[in-house]
């Protein structure tokens, strides 16, 4: 099979290596343009080490990008973590078109932050989809899907790197075989079930301590490792990362305390009261500083966060 990889970062690199390892011919690689000051893209670095041609176009709709892809004469394009829009006139150039990876069970969680939102919304299951790219964002027909459980203490990081990442590499290889051999079944997405969520940014990651502890905890783990769910400690922003949830069994357990109050600081971390229980946080960040142990943040017992 002669393929083109379109992607970036560690996932793109892993997909490239998976196809090479089983003997497929990689005709070339398309990656996002290099940003000033950014770390080298692992996909680009690996492709260059292997002597592969790397194309870095600002727009896949450009005549230069389309001509470059045409000249590679590929059987299939494999889109592995693509943030640039790829129009139909680009995606249909390979003999069998292109397939794309998305880390959710489409049509659920279309959009750029599908893994965090699945956790933030309290789901116990998500997965990944390999689909055909179309002009609509994550709306194309699905070639195959794989389901993944979300553990009660999974973070966005553990869910992606430990579960979805390796399964996604395997799924792209499997889907490529199905498409090129003519055995693929493409299923139209059910629009009545579709959801779309945008990026999880500052407004979305702001902790509301009056919310139930379940919601607060899901927000913290859904924003870990980035961007970090945040609150305020005086005039400073406090980002919360590694945490655990503790349910309050009786009214007496929280009597005399305020919602958002730091009720203890000890070896296990900083314990904060929310509605119905506590979150105990072991790692935090103050403003734009480094991530540190919660016990090193200098926040005393009795401090009310978010006030």
Per-residue model confidence as pLDDT tens digits over 76-134: 999 999 989 999 999 999 999 999 999 999 999 999 999 999 999 999 999 999 999 99
Residues 6+ apart with CB under 8 A from 105: 125, 126, 127, 128, 129, 145, 147
Contact 148, 128 (CB under 8 A): yes
Per-residue pLDDT averaged across 161-169, rounded?
Answer: 98
Neighbours of 51 (CB within 10 A): 6
pLDDT at residue 32 tops 70:
yes
Q: Would you state the pLDDT for residue 250?
A: 78
In this prediction, residues 196-219 reach a mean pLDDT of 96
Query: Quick one: average pLDDT of 35-41?
Result: 88
Q: What is the C-alpha separation between 192 and 176, in angstroms, rounded?
A: 28
67-78 average pLDDT score:
98
Q: What is the pLDDT of residue 38?
A: 84
Q: Which of 69-83, 251-265, 266-280 has the lowest mean pLDDT?
A: 251-265
Backbone conformation region of residue 260, classed left if phi is above 0, alpha if psi is from -120 to 50, else beta: left
**Could you tell me the fold of the domain covering 213-296?**
3.10.25
User: 102, 90, 7: which is closest to 54 by C-alpha?
Assistant: 7
Q: Where are the domains of the chain?
A: 2-193, 213-296
8 Å CB contact between 101 and 128: yes
The verdict on pTM exceeding 0.85 is: yes
**pLDDT at res. 307:** 60
Give mean pLDDT, residues 170-178.
98
How high is the mean pLDDT of the chain?
Answer: 96
Sheet of strand 283-286, all strands in order from the earlier edge strand to the far edge? 229-233, 236-240, 283-286, 291-293
CA distance 56 to 6: 10
The confidence band for 35, taking pLDDT boundaries of 50, 70 and 90, is confident
- Band (pLDDT 50/70/90 cuts) for residue 36 is confident
Q: Residue 132 CA to chain centroid, in angstroms?
A: 19
Rounded-to-integer distance, Cα 22 and Cα 154, Å:
32
Give the right CATH number for 2-193 from 1.10.10.10, 3.40.50.170, 3.20.20.220, 3.10.20.600: 3.40.50.170
12-40: average pLDDT: 95
Q: Is the pLDDT of residue 254 over 90?
A: no
Q: Do domains 2-193 and 213-296 have the same CATH topology?
A: no
Under the banding of pLDDT at 50, 70 and 90, the label for residue 164 is: very high
Residue 187 pLDDT > 80: yes
Say if strands 236-240 and 229-233 run parallel, antiparallel, or are unpaired. antiparallel
% of the chain beyond a pLDDT of 70: 99
3-state helix/strand/coil string of 111-160: CCCHHHHHHHCCCCEEEEEEECCCCCCCCCCEEEEEEEECCCCCCHHHHH
pLDDT at 255: 77
pLDDT at 252 exceeding the cut of 70: no
How many degrees, rounded to 5, is the angle at CA 38 between CA 37 and CA 40? 125
């Amino acid at each position: 099979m002669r393929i083109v990889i379109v992607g970036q970062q560690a996932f793109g690199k892993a997909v490239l290596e998976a196809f090479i390892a089983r003997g497929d011919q990689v005709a070339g690689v398309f990656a996002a343009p290099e940003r000033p000051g950014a770390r080298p893209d692992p996909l680009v670095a690996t492709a260059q080490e292997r002597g592969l041609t790397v194309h870095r176009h600002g727009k896949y709709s450009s005549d230069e990008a389309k001509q470059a892809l045409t000249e590679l004469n590929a059987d299939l394009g494999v889109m592995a973590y693509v943030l640039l829009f790829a129009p139909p006139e680009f995606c249909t150039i390979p003999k069998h078109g292109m397939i794309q990876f998305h880390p959710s069970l489409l049509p659920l969680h279309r959009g750029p932050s599908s893994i965090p939102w699945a956790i933030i919304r309290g789901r116990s299951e998500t997965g990944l989809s390999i689909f055909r790219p179309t002009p609509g964002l994550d709306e194309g027909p699905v070639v195959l899907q794989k389901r993944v459980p979300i553990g009660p203490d999974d973070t966005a990081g553990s869910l992606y790197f430990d579960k979805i990442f390796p399964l996604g590499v395997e799924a792209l290889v499997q889907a490529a075989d199905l498409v090129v051999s003519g055995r693929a079944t493409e299923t139209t997405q059910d629009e009545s079930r579709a959801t779309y969520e945008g990026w999880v940014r500052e407004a979305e990651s702001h902790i509301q301590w009056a919310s139930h502890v379940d919601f607060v905890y899901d927000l913290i783990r859904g924003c870990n490792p980035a961007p970090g769910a945040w609150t305020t400690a005086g005039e400073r922003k406090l980002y919360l990362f590694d945490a655990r949830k503790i349910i309050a069994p009786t009214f007496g357990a929280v009597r005399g305390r305020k919602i958002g109050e730091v009720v203890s600081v000890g070896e296990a971390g900083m314990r904060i009261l929310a509605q119905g229980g506590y979150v105990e946080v072991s790692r935090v960040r103050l403003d734009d500083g480094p991530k540190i142990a919660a016990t090193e943040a200098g926040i005393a017992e009795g401090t009310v966060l978010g006030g």
